[in-house]
Structure 1
């Protein structure tokens, strides 16, 4: 593998991250792109090929394999993207299509499963046998580790924590249900709460940002919260409490040694995790609640990309 390189690609609902990942897990020649709304399947596949080619050209080395983490239910036996809520990847033979377009072996799994691979082998879940992972981004992805192996389920649908209902009369989710965790805890949910605060509290930091023409997003909420803005901190705290409700369910069902939380929303750090831990202490069952660790990812927003690259390395090593 020393003469060539592998590329990991993490595709999200609104972003695409790709890079060369070395055996030391250092990421080089990273490419980040915002996903554009309205893309069809072919446009999305073309954008993935363009990103890989850009990274390949920057590396100037032979490409030996590519790994993809995608926000889809993936049949890992066939490499088919069965369905996804946020992107047009229904019944796409993703592995075969991308291998043909790129001319190299391709590995593919759900993006959160890829993140779990990275965190289990080298990150926050290293050394564990049972673990859960949540990625909080545009939506919420999830990974499950049982007996040291990523659990895919019968049809690739295991770990869809984002569509666990925590409020039966809650807001309508893109999946068609109401009150899904994704609608109350994701980056989209954090941005929605921030915009509501900007409208209802014009003298708050959000209100001032709105008058200044700034976009009111989850990222802004995190920024203001870290700066000590009390309204922003309360918004993040409420999201953290909702996260705690979801984690209580995960902990009661799985009894993991560790719950790893990643994705863009984890930039809020302990401002998000501490309220979540407090709710877990109140709602989850003993002894699970007393022994589980709730921690951020080691690789931050690169977990999915690193995990995807590790899956590609597995292909190379198996040859």
Structure 2
């Protein structure tokens, strides 16, 4: 494995998390920035500024940068084609960042980076067939099939958050043109919506009191109060968990994975989320797949995407072909 530092970047619908990753895979400097309300040009500039902050902070050369971004790609052109929850569209992202930073860049879907981390180092280590869902602002999907990340024919695949679970369901969010996507009923955004509706019907609980005191209704607040026993918060998480279970049922029936990994910020709810998801999966999935699959929380939690992106950067330096999109500065 290449020595020296790389940077791993995980760009989500709400925030950017990046860190300098050493040869021992330790993270020595992190930066966390919000991405609300930015144009594409502003987002690209913010990312470049964050990379420069890390480079200055560690005071050592950066050999490569790995980016996980929530986009579909076209490997024929190297373009990041569409993002549902961030302002990126039809941009040669790897080329743009290499030109701005003068450093080799590799870019992949953010959930693929999560999958790289969890399959090599995390809860799915040793498994050859893994499905992964990251639950945050939206839902990302990653696939490891027969030991290799599966991206589809031209790197536009594995968007499992946009499988339809309700044919005539609510419109999906952001730039998705679909209705009834898993993302619309089981993401962090869906959790906040569900809790908002529930607390309006029953405001006389800890969650209602917290909102009356001026606290913002967020996933972390819902999880905090659910863990403390608030029935409205617990009910909202259970509703999301059962919807998630329908999505997991589809993954088990289609891919017969050894492990289904659930990551992203919403997994902070732990078994409050996973127990109802497993229950639905066991009710609705086919044998033998449902009897042998493990449904687990990501071991690296919200840092899995960042570390996985760093691993892809090291792969690039080591000459390992992964199928992610690479760009190098001209020599």
Shorter chain as denominator, the TM-score bin is over 0.9
- TM-score after normalising by structure 2: 0.93
SS at match of 2:120: helix
Within 5 Å, give how 1:241-280 maps onto structure 2: 241-280=242-281
Further displaced range: 70-79 or 258-267: 70-79
Verify: 1:124 aligned to 2:123, yes or no. Answer: yes
> In the alignment, which residue of structure 1 is the partner of 2:19?
19
Asked if the contact 2:207/2:230 (under 8 Å) is kept, the reply is no
Alpha-carbon distance, 1:23 to partner: 2.5
> In the alignment, which residue of structure 2 is the partner of 1:101?
100
Alpha-carbon distance, 1:286 to partner: 0.3
Within 5 Å, give how 1:138-177 maps onto structure 2: 138-174=137-173, 175-177=176-178
> In the alignment, which residue of structure 2 is the partner of 1:210?
211
Alpha-carbon distance, 1:291 to partner: 0.2
> In the alignment, which residue of structure 2 is the partner of 1:30?
30
Alpha-carbon distance, 1:86 to partner: 1.4
Further displaced range: 210-219 or 279-288: 210-219
**Number of residue equivalences:** 317
Alpha-carbon distance, 1:76 to partner: 4.6
- In structure 2, the CA distance between the partners of 1:307 and 1:77, relative to structure 1 (3 Å rule), is farther
Asked if the contact 2:5/2:23 (under 8 Å) is kept, the reply is no
Asked if the contact 2:9/2:19 (under 8 Å) is kept, the reply is yes
Further displaced range: 125-134 or 280-289: 125-134
Asked if the contact 1:76/1:109 (under 8 Å) is kept, the reply is no
Asked if the contact 1:128/1:257 (under 8 Å) is kept, the reply is yes
C-alpha distance in 2 between matches for 1:130 and 1:316: 26
| Deviation sequence 1:223-253 (CA, Å, 0-9, x none) | 1111111221111111100000110001100
C-alpha distance in 1 between matches for 2:265 and 2:151: 24
SS at match of 1:318: coil
C-alpha distance in 2 between matches for 1:24 and 1:200: 51
- In structure 2, the CA distance between the partners of 1:76 and 1:29, relative to structure 1 (3 Å rule), is farther
Asked if the contact 2:67/2:106 (under 8 Å) is kept, the reply is yes
C-alpha distance in 1 between matches for 2:44 and 2:78: 15
Within 5 Å, give how 1:37-116 maps onto structure 2: 37=37, 39-76=38-75, 78-116=77-115
SS at match of 1:91: strand
- In structure 2, the CA distance between the partners of 1:260 and 1:155, relative to structure 1 (3 Å rule), is same
Alpha-carbon distance, 1:78 to partner: 4.8
Asked if the contact 1:195/1:217 (under 8 Å) is kept, the reply is no
Please report the RMSD computed on the Cα atoms of aligned residues, expressed in angstroms.
1.3
Within 5 Å, give how 1:175-190 maps onto structure 2: 175-190=176-191
- In structure 2, the CA distance between the partners of 1:297 and 1:76, relative to structure 1 (3 Å rule), is farther
Verify: 1:306 aligned to 2:321, yes or no. Answer: no
SS at match of 1:86: coil
SS at match of 1:23: coil
Asked if the contact 2:133/2:142 (under 8 Å) is kept, the reply is yes
Verify: 1:221 aligned to 2:222, yes or no. Answer: yes
| Deviation sequence 1:152-193 (CA, Å, 0-9, x none) | 101222211111111123221121222111011101011111
Asked if the contact 1:192/1:217 (under 8 Å) is kept, the reply is no
C-alpha distance in 1 between matches for 2:55 and 2:247: 40
> In the alignment, which residue of structure 1 is the partner of 2:7?
7
Alpha-carbon distance, 1:317 to partner: 1.5
